[in-house]
Structure 1
């Protein structure tokens, strides 16, 4: 005689399947199949002639008959299991921002994601998506406009609701408009200010191939500590929105002073001197014993400066450029001859 199914407990479960149910009835010994509708159970075990434990397969929303087949035939189809459609939820995005050009691979985490038929960024379909598990989807962001949009997942159970953790932020590409100073010492370590737009979320600032140390950031200004380098390099900023346009930065060798001519003068008056050396083009200051004095850059190897009156004795003359401060050459102030 065919088996008889009297009840299923529990009598409902999610469309994703995986619900363990206990089927009670008679004539279950030697069962060869347990079906939910037309689909075989994911697994089952015959506990006795009156009880079977089975795991539901995936299904579609609504009731389906539960049947047991034995060598004696197939049971009645009057007892049903109801598949319930659970709407998906989105509980996180990683990363949660990307460029307006799209193309960001985003891991969407949540619940009840199995069977997803659509993933949207705002009102636009994802460029592509793949359901990894019931709690994870990998999606590629489409192009969008700067700002935040909710990411929504649609399954047979419905469409996820917008929540704070479901928002994806489209970031405009950073734009650089100025760099100050535009030159610095080959040893690096100096502070450089970059101005522009969309700079707040900078993840990397590069001087050529080397990353600078980020100190402060705002939407329109970044300060960094320059790395060591040489020659002319392109400075770029990278954010979630992409890489900026380049600005040019020049690494300058430290200045060297070789001579001062004349090397002595009256302590009571001013003396115009010529300083010779190398790396003098970008001179920003000439000091005599630490006091700034007037100067004129004649070439990369020559500067004229005015040594002011001062005490009798040696005075240290130095030049500061974008590359740093030179060593000192000595100017000697002498007393006026006595009468």
Structure 2
């Protein structure tokens, strides 16, 4: 009994031949040839009684009756269409950049993608690719060197010209950041230095995005800290990946709970002990707005030299990386008259 063909896949291919066509049906065991019109397949393999794979021979454009030759007679025919092979053209790559480690999913747009046999980035085969249509391919980038990589698609019609590019970005590196501390309320501007910082898409303090940031150059970014608590290492994200972290710590605002003594003369020189919390990073102590010399004894104590001034109470304030805090007033007392 002659074999029968129920389906063929694909149903068309280039005039240059070379397309592997899968025929499904019945009674295919013992077949002696597969013909595209009057021309035998370049090669064929009998996979089972219900399947044959055959490689199309070159042939002029147009329809060809595909048949299976068998000692019991030839099969029915299904139409396989030869089309003029088109040289593919890549017109777009999105996204157009990614890390040198590869792994970026990109969409290629263009023409003539049907039957694509290869997609390459600077000559390196894509990790994987899928031909979605004659005008679209999705591919995964291989690892590459920093810089522009020409993207090419190969089909039976040829290989596309190097008219589209994917830009491999080196991973960003941070070498420093300052200040390394700031208030829990955020708002401090941190200057980050490093390399390959261009096209940064985010700056993060821990897992929180910066309130804002500016890419000054390939080696510098300024970022405004968001509110936060505790240790929050800073990282920068670019098309090249995520940088190494640099240290940043949120500091609670200082408090001043007691002064000793609370009074003194109008002349300068009285040593005043300030007691409170979160005083370790003190950068300034003022009496009535006048900056004074001081010594940080611990996170809970500072000694300061009271300045000269008119009689009366003045506010005592401490400024730290966590902000400013005021406590009890210090009162200057005039010397008794004679």
TM-score, normalised via structure 1 length: 0.75
Could you list the per-position Cα deviations for residues 299-335 of structure 1 after superposition, in whole angstroms to 9, with x for gaps in the alignment? 0111011221122222111001111100243111222
Distance, in Å, in 2 between the alignment partners of 1:283 and 1:67 is: 88
Query: Which residue is equivalent to 1:195?
Result: 193
Query: Which residue is equivalent to 1:128?
Result: 128
For residues 1-339 of structure 1, the aligned pairs below 5 Å read: 15=14, 63-64=60-61, 83-163=83-163, 166-217=164-215, 218-339=217-338
Could you list the per-position Cα deviations for residues 16-54 of structure 1 after superposition, in whole angstroms to 9, with x for gaps in the alignment? 9xxxxxxxxxxxxxxxxxxx9579xxxxxxxxxxxxxxx
Structure 2 contact 233–245 (Cα < 8 Å) conserved: yes
Could you list the per-position Cα deviations for residues 106-128 of structure 1 after superposition, in whole angstroms to 9, with x for gaps in the alignment? 11111111111111111211111
For these two proteins, the number of residue pairs brought into alignment is: 276
Distance, in Å, in 2 between the alignment partners of 1:314 and 1:337 is: 17
Query: In the superposition, relative to structure 1, how do residues 67 and 207 fare at CA in structure 2: closer, same or farther (>3 Å)?
Result: closer
Unaligned runs of 5+ in 1: 1-13, 17-35, 40-58, 69-80
Structure 1 contact 318–329 (Cα < 8 Å) conserved: no
Distance, in Å, in 2 between the alignment partners of 1:197 and 1:330 is: 49
How far is 1:82 from its partner?
A: 8.0
> Mean Cα displacement is larger for which, 150-159 or 83-92?
83-92
Unaligned runs of 5+ in 2: 1-12, 16-35, 40-55, 66-80
RMSD over equivalenced CA pairs, Å: 2.6
Could you list the per-position Cα deviations for residues 98-151 of structure 1 after superposition, in whole angstroms to 9, with x for gaps in the alignment? 111111111111111111111111121111111111111111111111111111
Distance, in Å, in 1 between the alignment partners of 2:277 and 2:57 is: 82
Distance, in Å, in 2 between the alignment partners of 1:110 and 1:65 is: 25
Distance, in Å, in 2 between the alignment partners of 1:181 and 1:65 is: 73
Structure 1 contact 15–60 (Cα < 8 Å) conserved: no
Distance, in Å, in 2 between the alignment partners of 1:316 and 1:162 is: 72
Query: In the superposition, relative to structure 1, how do residues 83 and 290 fare at CA in structure 2: closer, same or farther (>3 Å)?
Result: same
How far is 1:287 from its partner?
A: 1.6
Structure 2 contact 61–84 (Cα < 8 Å) conserved: no
Distance, in Å, in 2 between the alignment partners of 1:237 and 1:293 is: 39
